[in-house]
Structure 1
């Protein structure tokens, strides 16, 4: 999921939270079926955002661990090592 999609979900959640506040003020009962339905929708969005953030964190962690450079036939291990700090893999 892209940053734009995440931002869209956050905006939807903010709108639902505002709606819940207005509904609770108007209706006066947090157990009203309409309020419960909106609250459940907000819960689903929160869970979706938490999963996205967890997936993004795991992806970033993997990206930091798995930097691999494949050597071309014309480059030595030393040349590649001087260009960047990466794990070097040479196929024989």
Structure 2
């Protein structure tokens, strides 16, 4: 499930929890507990997805840097290719 969808679902659950708490007045009501547990599961799922995304980005950046170092191109060529600006010191 996509991260943005999970965030929207979690926001809906949070609103629902607030409304239920105002209506029922008892945070230990079985309905409130059930919705709260569902929100907890979504939070854990979001944390796992974000951790996986961060690890993927970290690996992608590492792979990119390694491949750049392994090439025999001049710094100016790499800079132009990666849209970076290098200053050559003489």
Q: Check whether TM > 0.5.
A: yes
TM-score in terms of structure 1 length: 0.72
Structure 1's unaligned 5+ residue stretches are 72-76, 86-92
Other-structure match for 2:7: 10
Matched residue count: 74
Determine which of 43, 47, 55 is the counterpart of 1:58: 55
Other-structure match for 1:90: none
How far apart are residue 65 of structure 1 and its match? 0.7
Say which structure is richer in helix: 2
After TM superposition, the runs of 4+ consecutive aligned structure 1 residues lying more than 6 A away are none
2:50 is the counterpart of 1:84: no
Structure 2's unaligned 5+ residue stretches are 80-90
Say which structure is richer in strand: 1
How far apart are residue 84 of structure 1 and its match? 2.6
